[in-house]
Amino acid sequence: MVDTHPDVYPADFIKAGNELTHLDKDQSKPALIILNQPIADTRVLGRLWNHTSYRLCADGGANQLYDLFTQNDPSQLDRYVRRFAAFL
């Protein structure tokens, strides 16, 4: 039986840079689901964001994303939130 599940290397998601070296060319980047938990570091969020192809906020995740930027770096809010606003 062929293993159809790709290997996942969690540490790659928080490394600097935009490449996930363990993905084959025919594999898409994974999704990011932001839940209702405080986001402590905008740098880590940026790396996770760059290493995913689809982002989803659930269960208060949008509030956490909004709070992170209004409290720390309001200039970055548009970079993240404007993509979600297109779905409203």
Between 72 and 2, where is the model more confident?
Answer: 72
Going by C-alpha positions, the residue among 69, 31, 28, 71 that lies closest to residue 48 is 31
Give CA–CA dist 14/40, Å, rounded: 13
- Could you report the per-residue pLDDT of 18-64, keeping only the tens digit for each? 566 656 666 677 888 999 999 888 888 888 888 788 888 998 998 99
* Assigned token pair, 18: 């935009």
Domain residues of the chain, as ranges?
29-85
**pTM: predicted TM-score of the whole model, two decimal places:** 0.68
